Amino acid sequence: MELHTVILAAGQGTRMRSRLPKVLHPIAGCPMLAHVLNTARELGSTRIHVVYGHGGERVREQLDGDGLSWVPQAEQLGTGHAVMQALPAIPDKAVVLVLYGDVPLVRAATLRPLLAAGSEGLGILTTVLDDPAGYGRIVRDGAGNVQEIVEQKDADAGQLAIREINTGLLAAPAHLLHAWLKRCDNHNAQGEYYLTDVVARAVEDAVTVTAVSAADPIEVSGVNNREQLAGLERAWQQREANRLMAAGVTLLDPARFDLRGEMTCGLDVVIDVNCVFEGRVELGDGVRIGPNCVIRDSTLGAGVTVEAHSVLEQAQVEEDCIVGPFARLRPGAVLAAGARVGNFVEVKKARIGAGSKVNHLSYIGDAELGAGVNIGAGTITCNYDGVNKHRTIIEDGAFIGSDTQLVAPVTVGRNSVVGAGTTVTRDSEPDSLVVSRVPQKNIPGWSRRRR
């Protein structure tokens, strides 16, 4: 079966009150339209046709890719008119699936029965709402067969009482869909060409109309304003939280968890409240994440602990390390097994060797630390000369005293000791003591005379 997916993404989204096109507003850190594109690809679409209008070039710039066909809709004359813009590029033998760029939570598993129904006749996706106000109603005959979809503004009192509503998602053979749309008109309260009118045309042609029900209404909910956007964001996060908990992750409060990307976890991972995970994150067995942390595009090995208020970005943390609290690992930070990076420490493009410790108030950038190194509080690597970056190398077992400046390029030899308050500008031999302090001078009575 050749599947062509048409995604309607031309709406202006005026109720969003935003300069950003509606379909680019994010859910879980990803544009709504990108979620729909991912679902279409998961279904194996031969071609995806995106019908765009308002802000379309901006949408295209951000999301263009292989297998996408961009179809302009210069005038927004309704959903039926939008689909007609895409049909000339779709073979008659193909099955057409119609999705919406502002309905981002629909799952491929929900759409597969719809595709099966649409391969022979017309498949429509419906759901049942306690309050169906604003939606088109599914009108059935006495035998329960679908007869038509009536929009809210065109419905009579009896039809308004119907709770089964149209989601707008449908599937049908391309040649039939094209023929039905050619017979639709805009004689309705909106003066638009409704895609939903194809149901009545299919009934006229004695083509089977199959209603596939979506069990979870939130899955087929659309976004028209910021409140609805926030509601779907939380629904997405709850879905991901449930998936992780089912896999053995402990979330201390699933309502205060945010995943904006992809995350894989080992066994017995524990995540405290208000943590944000972005991009691709891997957590090994027994990882513990404290509250209020941000972890982005990073890998954490087994037994790692990240204390509260820490930020990790493009970092690699090997097993049994401790990070934080209030630590920042910037891109290129690598912590070997058992390393410790403590409070108010920043690490960038640097490797911290096995068992090494940078516990307090330090900056380690463009550096290579060996195993068993101890970095005292207030130490910085002076890696930038205003034009170029230079590396600092601290060999195994070195001890760096507090308030030390290491002016790169420089190497501190194996098992060397750098005294507190030292500015290191030259390489040291192994097993050396490095000191650059000004000799202390005590002046008796100075304070009394000053007063």
Catalytic machinery residues: 360
In angstroms, the CA 117 to CA 125 distance is: 10
Widest Cα–Cα separation across the chain: 109
- Helix (H, G, I), strand (E, B), or coil: what is residue 73? coil
Rounded to an integer, what distance in angstroms lies between the CA atom of residue 288 and that of residue 295? Answer: 12
140 to 21, 42, 157, 198: CA distances (angstroms)? 37, 32, 15, 15
Query: C-alpha 78: how far from its chain's center?
Result: 31
> What tokens does 301 get?
């090995």
For 410, other C-beta atoms within 10 Å of its C-beta total 21
Side chain identity, residue 155 = A
CB atoms within 10 A of CB 36: 25
Q: Do strands 164-173 and 95-100 pair parallel, antiparallel, or not at all (unpaired)?
A: antiparallel
**Chain centroid, CA 308 distance in Å:** 22
* Amino acid at position 225, single letter: N
| CB distance 47 to 69 below 8 Å | yes
Phi-psi category of 308—alpha, beta or left, where left has phi over 0 and alpha has psi -120 to 50?
Answer: beta
Report the alpha-carbon distance of residue 103 to residue 83 in Å, rounded.
Answer: 16
Q: Which residues are CB-neighbours of 273 under 8 A, at least 6 positions away? A: 252, 253, 256, 257, 291, 292
Residue 218: Cβ-neighbour burial (10 angstroms; 0-12, 13-18, 19+)? middle
Q: 361 is written with which tokens?
A: 């108030």
Q: Are 321 and 359 in contact (CB under 8 A)?
A: no
